[in-house]
Amino acid sequence: MAKLILAAERILRARRLIQQARDLPVPATGLGKSDFSYIANVKDLLRQAKDMVKFIPQTAGVSVEMKEEVKRIYEEIEQAKREILY
């Protein structure tokens, strides 16, 4: 059986994944930001961050503050995607 991860820990992990996507080095050779493997790696990290928190709002007993934090995570993911890829 999988180990349960608390909502607060999931939010921290999601933020770490977003930071990893931002820290991913842009390829110096080839297509740079248009390199398909670079784009795939960035999108994968951001998808993992989104998957980490997507069920928190539907969980029973989660506070309103935690739900607002999840909304902020989604906004951070979209902002990171725009900053990194476009």
Report whether pLDDT(1) > 70: no
This prediction has a pTM of 0.91
Residue with tokens 């992990």: 13
Sign of CA dihedral 2, 70, 38, 34: positive
Give the mean model confidence (pLDDT) for residues 7-21. 96
pLDDT (0 to 100) of residue 13: 97
pLDDT (0 to 100) of residue 37: 93
Average pLDDT, the chain: 93
pLDDT (0 to 100) of residue 41: 97
Sequence-ordered alpha helix ranges (H) in 1-86? 7-23, 36-53, 64-85
pLDDT (0 to 100) of residue 83: 95
